[in-house]
A and B are shown apart, each in its own frame.
Chain A
C-alpha cells in the first residue's frame, strides 16, 4: 500500500499522529479532568499587547498581510503606524482603567521596541503587579521559517533582554508576533529557558510541549481576540462583547468539571478606542461577577499546570 501512495496520495506519515513533533495529539474526552486551585472552573487571563510598530522596518521583514486596514498598507504607512501609536498614547489608559475597575491583573505581551522607547508604559503595568512577557521586536516583524536559526535566536534574546532591562528579571512567557513561529521556535524558546509560549490557538487547556522542562503551551483563544474579531473580521463591538460572554459562560458552566482557561487578547489601539471601550468594560463586568474564577496570569497558570498535571 505505502509504496503506491506517492505524489497526491502520499500521507505525511503512516498511522496515527500529527505532521510535526511539537506535542502529541490529545482528544478532549480522553484527558484527566484538570483541577484548578480552590475549585475554580476557569482560569481567566487577560493578554494585554503593548506593541511598537516600526514605520521603517528592515528589508526582508514579514508582516501579517491581513493588517493593511481598509486602505491598504503602503510605504510610508503613517496611517497604520499612527493608529498603533494611538494605542500607546491614549487607548492603553482607557484599557488600564477598565482593568483596574474590575481588579484584573493582566499578562502583558511587550515587544522590544516598545520596552526600549516607552518604559513608562511597562512601569504602569509592573506597579499593578502585571506579568510582563516577551513579544518579539516590533509588530512588523513576524517570526518565520525564512529566518536562520541564528537570526531567530537573536530575535528571542533581544526580546527577552528588553523586558528584563525594565523588570530586572527574565520573562517567563513568550507571545510570537501575530501567532508566528518557524518550525524550530518552540525548541528555541525552551532552550532560552522560557516557561510557556502562547502562540497556539488550538486548545482551551494548557498542554506540555515536547521541549525543555517542559515548555507549556498556554491557550491563546484567537477566536475572540479583539484584532481577529474586530480588525480582521469587522464584527461589531457589541457583538464582540456577546461573543466574549458566550464563550466564558460555556467554559464556566458546560466545560466544567474539567477546568479551562479563558484568555482575552486586548490591543489598546483597537479595544481602547472610544467607541469600543464600553464593550470591553461590559464584558469584564460580566466575567468578574462569576464565582469560582481564578483570575491570574499566564505564568502562574503554566507553573501550576507543570507542577500538578
Chain B
C-alpha cells in the first residue's frame, strides 16, 4: 500500500510559524562527520567503492582527509562565526576518533545520528536488524554523553519503509530523511510521535561535488537560498539547512568560499542560529498541536 506519512498541506494553508525572538529563518549548519570503511563487509544494494575491487584508497583517502585535516579547519571556521553546529554523525566516530568527539563536546555541538558507518546502508534491512542499528546508536550516545538521541538521518541517506516507525519507537524526536518542506512537519508513525526537520539535498556540498560546480558557485547557492527564505520568513518562519562535509569544505580551495557565505548570513538580524534539537523542541512545544488540529480539521472537511 502506498505509504501516507506526510499529510498534504501546502505552505500557504498553515498556521503561522514563529521562531524565538521573532526570527524569520532558523539556520542550522550540519557538518557530516563520517567514517567510510576501508574494506566494507556489509555492502547491501549499493557498492560504496565502485571504482575497483576494495580497497579504493582514492575514495577512502578523500574521506580520511576530512577527519585528519578538514574537520579541524571547519571547527575553526564555525568558531570564528560563533556557530554551534548540529553534526550529522556516524556514531562509530565517537569511539574511533576520540579527538574529534572531544572537540565537538567542548563546543556543545548537537548530534543528528547518521548511523554507524557511512558504508553500511539500511536499504533492505529486515525490521529487527534496522531496529538493532537504531538502538545501538541510542545506547552509544547515552553511554558517551548521558543524553537521549534527538534526531535521525539514515547513514549515507539510506532507508526502509519502516524507518520512521522505528525511529519514533526509539524515542527519537525528529527525522531528517525527507526533503519535502521548508518547515518542520508531523510525520505519521505506528506508535508515538515524530516530526521532520528539513535537511537539504540542495544546499549540500556532497551533492554539488558530483557535478561541475566549485566553491564559488556553492557559496552563491547558499546566499541565494538564504535571500529567498529570509524574505519569505517574514510571513511565516522557515528553516534553512546548510549541509557540509569536512572532506570537501575543509579543503584549502573551498573553505574561504564557505567563510564568505556564512559571513553574509551572519550580517542579518532576525536569524535564529539553532541546532536540530532546538528547532524540534520549539516546534513540538509551540506549533505541533496547532498543526495537528489543523490537519484534522482539513481531513474532516
Contact = CB atoms under 8 A, between A and B. Distances in A.
A12 B120 CA distance: 12
B68 interface: yes
Given A29-B72, A204-B252, A243-B253, A5 B136 contact: yes
Contact of A9 (B69, B133, B253, B257): B133
A187 to B, nearest CB: 14
B55 A183 contact: yes
A159 B30 CA distance: 45
Interface string B205-238: 0000111111110000000000000000000000
A8 B116 contact: yes
Contacts of B96: 11, 13, 15-18
B182 interface: no
A180 B52 contact: yes
Contacts of A13: 96
A276 B294 CA distance: 59
B256 A146 contact: no
B100 interface: yes
B255 A144 contact: no
B34 to A, nearest CB: 13
Contact of B62 (A222, A233, A248): A222
Given A16-B97, A19-B37, A247-B251, A233 B212 contact: yes
A201, A234, A235 — most chain B CB neighbours (10 Å): A201
Interface string B57-73: 11011101101110011
B92 interface: yes
Contacts of A254: 252
Interface in A204-245: 204, 222-224, 233-236, 239, 242-244
B252 A246 contact: yes
Contact of A145 (B54, B60, B212, B216): B54
Interface string B100-137: 10000000000000001000100001000100110010
Given A19-B38, A202-B61, A255-B252, A246 B55 contact: no
B61, B99, B253 — most chain A CB neighbours (10 Å): B253
Nearest to A260: B252
A145 B61 contact: no
A152 interface: no
Interface stretch (A62-70, A115-123, A162-170): A62-70
* Interface size class, chain A: 35 or more
B68 A203 contact: yes
A110 to B, nearest CB: 20
B68 A243 contact: no
Given A8-B125, A28-B72, A65-B51, A20 B58 contact: no
A199 B252 CA distance: 19
B42 interface: yes
B120 A201 contact: no
B81 interface: no
Contact of A242 (B62, B216, B251): B216
A285 to B, nearest CB: 17
Given A9-B132, A14-B95, A201-B62, 13 more contacts: A7-B132, A9-B133, A18-B96, A25-B67, A65-B51, A66-B51, A145-B53, A223-B62, A243-B214, A246-B253, A248-B252, A250-B255, A254-B252
Interface of A: 5, 7-9, 11-20, 25-30, 62, 64-66, 142, 144-146, 176, 178-183, 199-204, 222-224, 233-236, 239, 242-244, 246-248, 250-251, 254-255, 260
